Structure 1
Amino acid sequence: MSATEPPRVLHVSHTSQPGGAELALARLVGRDRPWRAALHAPPGGGAFDHLRGTDVTVAEDLPALPTGGTRSRAPLLAARYLAALRAGAGVLRRSPLFRDADLVHANTAAAAIICALADRRHRRPLVVHLRGPVNAETLGPLGLPAFTRLALRHADGLVANSRFTLASVMGRPRVPAHRVVLQSPIGIGERVLRPRVRPVVRAVGMVGRLQPWKGQHVFLQAFAAALPDSDVQAYLCGAPLFGEAAYEAELRALATRLGVADRVHFLGHVDDVSAVLDSIDILVHASLGPEALGQTVLQGLARAKPVIATEGGGPGEWIRSGVNGLLVPPGRPEALAGALRRLVASHRLRIELAAAAAGTPGLLSDPECVARHGEFFDAVRRAHRPGPAR
């Protein structure tokens, strides 16, 4: 690479399904950026389709990883998962995009394992993106040792999406000195600085993948308890992924049992998140445990919405309960229902929370996120010394 050329960064994703990590990566590489971007990912899924025809070189040729492979204790599934990791490493190793990269960015823990296997001699710097806590619950009994013993020891830099996420890896051997807590791009083109709060609540909603852990069932239970005799509508924006279609059917059946099916609307995957957020009066985040980042929370704050979120993890780093949002215990429909009643009843509180949300400190625009990532990539690249894996 000449001194005047931007560095070549290869981004590696273990899936092309439009989950939060993949959408964040698509936003990162789909904007003006101070590096030349290329991408390796499996085919299908659609998360990166819009990058075709841009200046991003896209190679959708990695093998798909078996769903649940890291968490399964079934020997056959584990063997298939390991074989897919090795096959993906082989694809990378033979790829000119990998060979010519000045830096490799692994978008997830699984992608980091593939990258480490592909570059055993550690010839190019590797930045690993931590999208969730590094523990057995998240990575599984197979994924955790593979990540910590292989990927982490090859990493030259770590990008964590929250202090909560970064703390989960600190204290482990070979944590790289170059590490940063950095918000992911959230897909909001413009922040709302002067919120308009309607005097009467007409719509509440959730934005995010339909998944039991995300707690849409808790939201429906709280909605039915808080607003049983009301014309307030509930909107669920998101689609089920990774074999979780049955959960959507369960949610529809639950809405029927609760007597609110006529007021609950399933919108599926939504590209224009800003438009959805602007159409609702209260945004709800209902994850059953600490969320690593909670992109929907940041999206709600950026559009100056009154937000109710569950305590812990990334959302707790952004929301001061009673100031720029409300925090409730996870998995407690009655607590969420109480927060909903409180907001629906108080126009003044909604105005106060929306105004404070608009002024949330530290919230970056997508261009600012891209610039910060570029600065970190450059620092890691300049510090790298090729040689044996550490």
Structure 2
Amino acid sequence: MRILQALPALYSGGVERGTVEFASDLVKRGHESFVVSKGGPMAEQLRGQGSKHIFMPIHRKSLASFGQVLPMRKLLLELKPDIVHVRSRMPAWIIYLALRSIPESQRPAAVSTFHGMYSVNPYSAIMTRADHIIAVSQCVREYILKNYPVPEEKLTVIQRGVDVEAFRQRELTPQWLDRWFRNYPQLTNQKIIMMPGRISRWKGQLDFLAMMAELVRTRPDCHGIIVGGAEPGKEHFLEELEKERTRLNLTDKVSFLGQRNDMTNLYLLADVVCHMSTKPEPFGRTVTEALASGTPVAAYNRGGAAETLQACFREGLVTADDTFEFAQTIMRLLDLKTPLIDIPYRFRLEAQTEASLRVYEDVLARRENQR
């Protein structure tokens, strides 16, 4: 099949990483893989793995973006993909309008993925106009069915998959460890409690600080690391976090590491990884990645992150918003000699690819039968 994925950009987020990994797996299976976006650092990785990247500014949530409808129509007619897979709302609008102007016999099939629980409005409803919809978790599926008139048979849950072996087969090199402890000497001989995720209020960094204040009273050998950068416009929240760290007397117990490009190493280095989003998260990719590395995870019992832990590592589930229980759970996880982590097949990259290909094949078969 010729498969075109569409998303706003290719930076470092979970949707972007998942798109690049999925594209790589498609190429390995003999399919032709194309991605259209405004580009970004991951475009080079995408090309290196055998996919073709097409630059198009389809990222802005503004009326100006509708100027890309005609270029998109031209691209679709030239490329002739079998499937167009949209992963975000603005690209979905541009592609929907472009498809409407193409004769039905020449149109590719359209598949959309709800990567989040988008605000309920006509702008978001465009994601339901595809031939088939994929939800990244059960909680996202329920959200779609509750808020949009979508027949259940048009909706499939496909968990985001990770390349488990790629995480598991890694080792920390002496060179990396030496550089790490030279840069962060305060972490020497400490139990490392990691909080990954961009700096954003709903990601739960304030809860993490409150939990660390509780944890170090009993376990002074623990050091928290907050890994993730502040998005433009969110710098003020990072300042708020730094002030809260000082107020809680955690200056020598919590470090802000900013954006990193060595997350696979940090998953191996950490003793426990935390997921503390203050509202249900659609999936929680960091949970699966950490577990694939063999590192225990503690997470609030809600949303997609909880679905992953319920299937892979129930010991890490914590009552939502209870930072005291969270600290107690981390202490218990630190005492585990060999965490019993079991990642079912549906959370693996190969399962995601196979399930997505089945959706593509079913959509194409239905269209063929209707002609």
What TM-score range do you get, normalising by the shorter chain?
0.7 to 0.9
Q: CA deviation at 1:221?
A: 1.7
Matching residue within 285, 304, 307 for 2:294: 304
CA distance in 2, matches of 1:201, 1:181: 40
CA contact (8 A) 2:109 2:131 kept: yes
Please say if 1:38 is aligned against 2:27: no
What is the aligned partner in structure 2 of residue 340 from structure 1? Answer: 330
Query: Deviations 1:281-308 (Å, cap 9, x if unpaired)?
Result: 1111000011111111112222232211
Distance in 2 of aligned mates of 1:379 and 1:242: 41
Task: From 279, 283, 287, give the equivalent of 2:269.
Answer: 279
* Match of residue 113 from structure 1: 93
Whole-angstrom CA distance in 1 between matches of 2:315 and 2:136 = 20
- C-alpha distance in 2 between matches for 1:47 and 1:252: 30
Q: Where do residues 1-390 of structure 1 align in structure 2 (5 Å cutoff)? A: 7-31=1-25, 32-43=28-39, 45-66=40-61, 81=62, 83-96=63-76, 99-120=79-100, 123-136=107-120, 144-148=121-125, 150-153=126-129, 155-170=130-145, 172-175=148-151, 177-186=153-162, 188-190=164-166, 192=168, 202-228=191-217, 230-320=220-310, 324-344=314-334, 347=335, 350-351=336-337, 354-355=339-340, 357=341, 359-384=342-367
Q: 1:115 and 1:329 mapped to 2: Cα distance?
A: 42
User: What's the CA shift for 1:127?
Assistant: 0.5
Judging changes above 3 Å, is the alpha-carbon distance between structure 1 residues 289 and 151 closer, same or farther for their aligned structure 2 residues? closer
How many residue pairs end up in the alignment? 344
Q: Do the aligned residues in 2 keep the contact of 1:202 with 1:232 (CA within 8 Å)?
A: yes
For structure 2, the 5+ residue unaligned runs are: 170-188
1:215-236 per-position Cα deviation (integer Å, ceiling 9, x unaligned): 1121122112221471322122
Superposed CA offset, 1:297-355 (max 9, x none): 112222232211012111222223996332224344333233334444xx1xx246x21
1:64/1:84 contact within 8 Å kept: no
TM-score, normalised with respect to structure 1 = 0.78
What residue in structure 2 maps to residue 76 of structure 1? none
* Distance in 1, Cα, partners of 2:48 & 2:292: 30
Q: Which amino acid aligns with 1:380?
A: V
Query: Once the two structures are aligned, what percentage of the paired residues are identical?
Result: 23
Q: Distance in 2 between matches of 1:65 and 1:307?
A: 35
Q: CA RMSD in A?
A: 3.0
Q: Which has the higher helix share?
A: 2
- Distance, in Å, in 2 between the alignment partners of 1:30 and 1:240 is 29
- Between 1 and 2, higher relative CO (CA 8 Å, sep ≥ 6) is seen in 1
> Cα 1:13–1:21, aligned 2, differ >3 Å: closer, same or farther?
same
Q: 1:98 to 1:145 in 2, by over 3 A?
A: farther
Q: Provide, for residues 124-183 of structure 1, a one-character-per-residue CA deviation record: whole Å limited to 9, x for no partner.
A: 2100011112443xxxxxxx21232x4423x11111110111111126334473432112
Unmatched tracts of structure 1, length 5 or more: 1-6, 67-80, 137-143, 194-199
**What's the secondary structure of 2:314's corresponding residue?**
coil
SS in structure 1 at match of 2:53: strand
